[in-house]
Amino acid sequence: MKPVTRIQSRTVVLPTTDIDTDQLIPARFLTTTSREGLGQFLFHDLRFDANGTADPNFVLNQPGADGCRILVAGNNLGCGSSREHAPWALLDYGFQAVISTEIADIFRNNSLKNGLLPIVVDEETLQYLLQNPGINLDIDVAQATLALPDGKTIEFPIDGFARHCLIEGIDQLGYLLQHANRISAFEESRPWKP
């Protein structure tokens, strides 16, 4: 995983609440055996109509969305299925951070494992971001802060271990493998065996 330390970008805003992972990437695109190239399917059925024509009203199809690395969404982003294809698609499309007042557990976990930064903000901040689409944000992962264009800085919560892994680009599998002896000792010491 590449280290993620700072994200500076304009925002794309999707005010809808409860955006589920079926919206992020529909199930019919999950028959792949690769994690690459899924950006083309991101929000597929919102971006394109049944004939494959891009919907000009959908925010990602508007010129202002080009090159944006930060997605701001309504409350409870990423609910539903555990498909890791959702953060893979967001990353492949070019997003590096997602912001909402609540981010569903499995989606948040999957995002952190891949270097997509999930940021939870309070209602007031979200409303400001939703009402001011396209503004520049400056995200400092080490400080866990989000700077608005007017210089105001907002702290966001992030698990210390997850932050460390993001900043250093640490693969958590390596961390687990280092504990092989502890895992073996646990297996041997259990009073019952599964």
Q: Which of 42, 68, 79, 89 binds other proteins (CB under 8 A)?
A: 79
Indicate the residue among 7 and 86 with the shorter CB distance to other proteins.
86
Out of 63, 123, 160, 188, the only residue in the binding site for other proteins (CB under 8 A) is: 160
Q: Is 80 in the site for other proteins (CB under 8 A)?
A: yes
The verdict on 109 binding other proteins (CB under 8 A) reads yes
Residue whose pair of structure tokens reads 């990437």 in the numeric block:
25
Distance CA 38, CA 30 (A): 9
Q: How many residues are listed for the chain in this entry?
A: 194
Residue 118, beta-bridge partner list: 98
Tokens of 144: 């866990």
Please report whether residue 179 would count as binding other proteins according to CB under 8 A.
Answer: yes
CB 75 within 8 A of CB 14: no
Is residue 28 near other proteins by the rule CB under 8 A? Answer: yes
Which range of residues in 4-12, 60-68, 142-150, 186-194 is near other proteins by CB under 8 A? 186-194
Q: State which of residues 83, 98, 119, 121 lies at the interface with other proteins (CB under 8 A).
A: 83
Residue that the structure tokens 């092989």 belong to: 180
Is 154 a binding residue for other proteins by CB under 8 A? The answer is no
Q: Toward other proteins, which CB reaches closer, 61 or 109? A: 109
Q: Is 167 exposed, middle or buried (0-12, 13-18, 19+ CB in 10 A)?
A: middle
Distance of alpha carbon 75 from alpha carbon 52, whole angstroms: 29
Residue 84 found at the interface with other proteins (CB under 8 A): yes
Distance CA 119, CA 97 (A): 7
Q: CA 60 to CA 36: how far, in whole Å?
A: 20
* Residues 171, 175: Cα–Cα separation, whole Å: 7
Is 50 a binding residue for other proteins by CB under 8 A? The answer is: yes
Q: Residues in contact with other proteins, total (CB under 8 A)?
A: 52
**One of 10, 26, 47, 128 touching other proteins (CB under 8 A):** 26
Indicate the burial class of 188 (C-beta count within 10 angstroms; 0-12, 13-18, 19 or more).
exposed
Q: Is 102 one of the binding residues for other proteins (CB under 8 A)?
A: yes
Q: Report the residue number, 149 or 186, with the smaller CB distance to other proteins.
A: 186
Nearer to other proteins, 151 or 178 (CB): 178
